[in-house]
Amino acid sequence: MKKTIIDLFDETVNHYSERPFLFERGEKEFQSITYKDTHDLVYQLGGGIMSLGLKKGERMSLLMEACNNWIISEMAILYAGGTNVPISIKLVEATDLVFRLNHSEARFVLTSKTQLEKIRVIRDRLETVEKVIVLGVKPEDLQDGEMTFDELYAIGNRYNINNPGAIKSMSLSVQNDDLANISYTSGTTADPKGVMLTHRNFTANVEQCLSVVAIPEFARTLIILPLDHCFAHVTALYTFMAQGGSIATVPVGKNFVESIKNIPRSMNEFQPEIIMTVPALAKTFRNNVEKNVREKGKLSVLVFNLAMKLTIAYNKDGYNKGTKGTWILKPLVILINKKLFSKMRSAMGGKLKIFVDGGAYLDIDMQKFWYAAGIPMLQGYGLSEATPVISCNKIDFHKLGTSGQIVKGLDVTIRDEKDHILPVGQKGEIVVKGENVMAGYWKNPEATAATVKDGWLHTGDLGCMDEMGFLYVFGRSKSLLIGNDGEKYSPEGIEESITTLSPSINQIMLYNNQSHYTVALIYPDMDALRRTIYNFDTPEGKKEAIRLILQSINQFRKGGKYESMFPERWLPSAFALLSEGFNENNQLMNSTMKIMRSRIEKMYEIKLQYMFTPEGKKPYNEENFKALN
């Protein structure tokens, strides 16, 4: 059966033509355009793209912040028969942009005023780009080979008048197996690869997503993740589109800090019901909540922590809440929710029902926190090569600490290193097969053959299934800690738990490559340390900061508050403090806020080796003191 993204949108427009679809904030409030009006704009812009001479199957790149025109542009590219190459706005290195645009052979680039300079500085190195279309600039500010969005819309309008039915005919000719996107992975361990995703890959994954998370008709979501990544692409855009939902984007600030501040403001104003997020943002939201509680005084902190403790005890792991005697807490939990946590939810718009987290590992304590707050954070799992969703916890049946149950229409097996299928409970590589599996890597048949075998996608992620059908994901096989005896362990769970449960640690990366002990690179939470240590800027204050960081790690050892959570051999025996965190600007974190291990290991190679020396193993070494200056 033919079911392209175009078919999906056409059907939705027929059903919900006058319903509000896209929202952007104007001067005072969020303003909407309907499904029908969006469809008209797609036709108009699509006509402009056809007038430029884009042929069916050719590539056109989209480099701009999430906004209405991002969504309209992608749809217009698809209706014109093209393939979109979405690029992250967080890419700052010219070589990264040049590679993607040249490798994909993009003929045209759609960009924004804030991203334009990135294209201009590499324009003479772009081998196939013929024209750049820019949003938000005046015609007099353009250079050769550039045009405004307004001009392209106007050209499209004329093209459609002079060529009636042309864009409709082109859009109807698009088939399931035609490419919709080439999505470049930022890759946590290697160079980017262009993931080829077809129209049916996307629409199949929409159907699969709805089989586990029942998005209500007309639901509202606020997109806070980059649209160039297929997690936001599928779950926040196309899944809500299928349900006649309303989609808002966060206003772009004058700088990064202002853009981040616009997220809670937008949540409060737009009042979304569901938000797609990733672990790093989940932690930011929690930190903001706890900061507001601290500002109200010690009594508020005491009450809040007690309320959390009681509610978490009642909720258990979700599917079993209120069992084994904890039912007695139910009246108290209801009262706490009404008197305390409802106020917290009001500050987030008041209508937020759930978060859906797309990171491979979300610490269970983070999940318990949001579940107690009355906004369950449903953990899911996926990767770009699977368009991306493979599993997710359900609203009405979930198990905290897992990545949920497998979506319908997808076969999942757990396999050992010899490709043998393993039984329930045993850990191995997650291998999947279904209509959402990518068509391959663009111009990279060797990588495709190594990843997709007989239709089965070898994810490179380690996991296991339990007897209830829940999937546990432990991390990337390439990211494993390897002891001197050859034993291996996934670091992601330890890292996520340490950063979640340790107030003094902002980020951590564990490292062990066949050594006697594990070490860690740590970026401290400087604000937390300064709040705690009154004389932080003195040598004594720095020593106390190191002691608190060491204490945080020791909480996971025998006798500590979190003992037995992880085997002690994989906890860091030495750590090096960093003066700068992992982020997109230094290219140590990708657009979905996952750390880039291979780059970090290369950048901090000297520090990593230093920790295996007698001096470097001491926590109070000179280098750690320097990092706190």
Last residue of a domain, one of 137, 157, 175: 175
The answer to whether residue 58 is domain-embedded is: yes
Note down the domain range covering 118.
5-175
pLDDT beyond 80 at 213: yes
The answer to whether residue 188 is domain-embedded is: no
pLDDT beyond 90 at 150: yes
Same domain, 427 and 526: no
**What percent of the chain is predicted at pLDDT more than 70?**
98
Q: What pLDDT does 280 receive?
A: 77
Mean pLDDT of 523-551: 93
Same domain, 473 and 485: no
Q: Which residues pair with 376 in a beta bridge?
A: none
Say which residue, 603 or 191, is predicted with more confidence: 603
The pairs formed by 579-582 with CB atoms below 8 angstroms and a separation of 24 or more are: 579/626, 579/627, 579/628, 579/629, 580/523, 581/506, 581/507, 581/523, 582/507, 582/509, 582/523
Confidence of residue 618 (pLDDT cuts 50, 70, 90): very high
Last residue of a domain, one of 175, 200, 215: 175
The answer to whether residue 13 is domain-embedded is: yes
Mean pLDDT of 415-421: 93
Residue with tokens 């400087």: 526
pLDDT beyond 90 at 287: no
Q: What pLDDT does 583 receive?
A: 86
Mean pLDDT of 256-277: 89
The pairs formed by 113-117 with CB atoms below 8 angstroms and a separation of 24 or more are: 113/137, 114/65, 114/89, 114/252, 115/63, 115/64, 115/65, 115/89, 116/146
List the 389-392 sheet strands across, edge first: 30-34, 20-25, 246-249, 220-223, 274-277, 354-357, 377-382, 389-392, 405-406
Q: What pLDDT does 311 receive?
A: 93
pLDDT beyond 90 at 391: yes
Last residue of a domain, one of 478, 508, 536: 478
3-class SS letters over 511-563: ECEEECCEEEEEEECHHHHHHHCCCCCCHHHHHHHHHHHHHHHHCCCCCCCCC
Mean pLDDT of 19-42: 96
Mean pLDDT of 348-370: 85
Q: What pLDDT does 593 receive?
A: 77
Q: What pLDDT does 3 receive?
A: 97
Question: Considering its fold, how many domains does the chain have in total?
Answer: 3
Say which residue, 359 or 490, is predicted with more confidence: 490
Confidence of residue 560 (pLDDT cuts 50, 70, 90): very high
Same domain, 293 and 412: yes
Token pair for 86: 């979405």
Same domain, 463 and 504: no
Q: Which residues pair with 443 in a beta bridge?
A: none
Mean pLDDT of 308-328: 88
Same domain, 500 and 468: no
Crossing angle for the helix pair 539-554 and 492-501, nearest 10 degrees? Answer: 130
The answer to whether residue 128 is domain-embedded is: yes
Please give the helix or strand (H or E) that residue 157 lies within, else none: helix 149-162
Say which residue, 90 or 126, is predicted with more confidence: 126
Q: What is the pLDDT of residues 225-263, one digit of tens each?
A: 889 988 999 999 999 999 999 999 999 887 767 877 889
Closest among 325, 313, 226, 321 to 276, alpha carbons compared: 226
Confidence of residue 190 (pLDDT cuts 50, 70, 90): low
Same domain, 401 and 516: no
Same domain, 45 and 151: yes
* Torsion, Cα of 240, 245, 246, 247 (10° steps): 0
Q: What pLDDT does 360 receive?
A: 55
Same domain, 455 and 491: no
The answer to whether residue 191 is domain-embedded is: no
Instruction: State the Cα–Cα distance between residues 106 and 85, nearest whole angstrom.
Output: 8
Q: What pLDDT does 347 receive?
A: 84
Token pair for 542: 């720095």
Same domain, 341 and 319: yes
pLDDT beyond 90 at 269: yes
Q: What pLDDT does 359 receive?
A: 66
Same domain, 466 and 490: no
pLDDT beyond 80 at 410: yes
Instruction: State the Cα–Cα distance between residues 112 and 132, nearest whole angstrom.
Output: 10
The answer to whether residue 267 is domain-embedded is: no
Percent helix / strand / coil, the chain, rounded to 5? 40, 20, 35
The answer to whether residue 280 is domain-embedded is: yes
Same domain, 506 and 581: yes
Instruction: State the Cα–Cα distance between residues 28 and 233, nearest whole angstrom.
Output: 27
Say which residue, 227 or 484, is predicted with more confidence: 227
Same domain, 484 and 424: no
CATH number at 575 reads 3.30.300.30
Q: Which residues pair with 473 in a beta bridge?
A: 463
Q: What pLDDT does 161 receive?
A: 97
Please give the helix or strand (H or E) that residue 456 lies within, else none: strand 456-465
The answer to whether residue 242 is domain-embedded is: no
CATH number at 299 reads 3.40.50.12780
Q: What is the pLDDT of residues 39-73, one digit of tens each?
A: 999 999 999 999 999 999 999 999 999 999 999 99
Say which residue, 344 or 68, is predicted with more confidence: 68
| Mean of all residue pLDDT scores within the chain | 92
**What percent of the chain is predicted at pLDDT more than 90?**
72
Q: What pLDDT does 323 receive?
A: 87
